[in-house]
Amino acid sequence: MSVSDADMVRAWTHVLTLSKLKPGDTVTLLTSANTHPQTLQTARIAAGMMGAVVNRLDLAPMNAEHAHSRDSLAYLGTTPLTGNRAAIAALKESDIVLDLMTLLFSPEQAEILESGTRILLAVEPPEVLVRLLPSLEDKARVAAAAALMADAREMTVTSAAGTDLRLPLGEFPAIQEYGFVDEPGRWDHWPSGFGLTFPNERKAEGRVVLERGDILLPMKSYVTDRVEMTVEKGYVTSITGGIDADLLNDYMEVFADPEAYAVSHVGWGLQKRARWSTLGLYDREGTIGMDARAFAGNFLFSMGPNNEGGGSRTTACHIDIPMRNCTVRLDGREVVRAGQLLEQEETV
């Protein structure tokens, strides 16, 4: 269903208010060829109505010769900011950058954040943005989960399908994604709603078993048959099964990069308004799959870079796999039980 401009302006005003935008602040809209025109126009109106100085920085797309699809997360190589010092300087002078292009996992993004600029990514369709409008309650739920992760020394994940994964923790921080940017140097993604961290380097061990209905991203497809992955010393060393395993192997092999198989961020979904089923309602170029990443109770297993968490590993390949029906424990304490999110008081 289409969204009115008025609803989108109200949504942007809500998110920018939560992000503590003040009159006189500089907001830069970072755009490219695939930026949604309604998202852009309503962001400009909302920020202007709140008294911000609004600029637009439009950059040409890149990586066409490498990308497997139009999805901005299908290839995480160089960005239009790579070597573009003038553009980087403009963004560092901004109070808030509204990233309507996607800078995720780029060193340029890290440099901009270090200057104190806040960056909010918003590239999902307008109806998804409006439905998954963030709230202070979302922030509190994510903060509570992140606090549990920050204190834990080990995450374990099991499932009736056969997943049995051990993830030592402590080298990397717990990261909160709740949908707005209310602190200097903060990055977030509207929509979102999950906590995550990265396992200690080269320490993850065990087995990941995907069952029907789990989701492969950026393929944006539901798993149709069993996939088994072996994890040894922090890397996925084998991916076996039927056609879904074949598709995943074929996609990853093209990158010719062993770091693509490293275990990346792990965590669980906390957004109660996100739905597992939503991906089935869109064509594959209509969304980047944030419902899938954020729906409450999923275990989000990923492969690829860890530089977003402060690590040194970079790779152009990044795989996210939201899994259902898993039990997630932190130092033995259940936080998700068979795919059902446990409220904080139940985990004590």
Whether residue 26 is found in the same domain as residue 103: yes
Could you list the residue range(s) of the whole structural domain that residue 41 is in?
5-131
Residues 166, 30, single domain; the answer is no
Question: The sheet that has 227-232: what strands, in order across it?
Answer: 235-241, 227-232, 205-210, 164-168, 154-159, 326-330, 333-337, 340-341
The residue out of 91, 114, 131 marking a domain boundary is 131
Residues 249, 179 within the same domain? yes
What domain count does the chain have?
2
Q: Looking only at Cα atoms, what is the longest distance across the chain? A: 57
> Along the 348 residues of the chain, how does pLDDT read in single tens digits?
689 999 999 999 999 999 999 999 999 999 999 899 999 999 999 999 999 999 999 998 766 666 677 666 666 667 888 889 999 999 999 999 999 998 877 788 889 999 999 999 999 999 999 999 999 999 999 999 999 999 999 999 999 999 999 999 999 999 999 999 999 999 999 999 999 999 999 999 999 999 999 999 999 999 999 999 999 999 999 999 999 999 999 999 999 999 999 999 999 999 999 999 999 999 888 899 999 999 999 999 999 999 888 888 889 899 999 999 999 999 999 999 999 999 754 544
Q: Are residues 284 and 263 in the same domain?
A: yes
Q: Are residues 191 and 86 in the same domain?
A: no
Residues 248, 152 share a domain:
yes
| pTM (two decimals) | 0.94
∠ Cα 46 33 96 (to 5°): 35
- Return the CATH number at 127: 3.40.50.2300
Q: Facing residues of 98 across strands?
A: 29, 120
Are 191 and 283 members of one domain? yes
DSSP structural state of residue 180: -
Which of 108, 131, 154 is the C-terminal boundary of a domain? 131
Indicate if 103 and 222 belong to the same structural domain.
no
Task: Report yes or no: 249 and 228 within 8 Å, Cβ to Cβ.
Answer: no
Are 173 and 103 in a shared domain? no
C-alpha to C-alpha distance for 171 and 337, rounded to whole angstroms: 26
Q: Which of 110, 131, 152 is the last residue of a domain?
A: 131
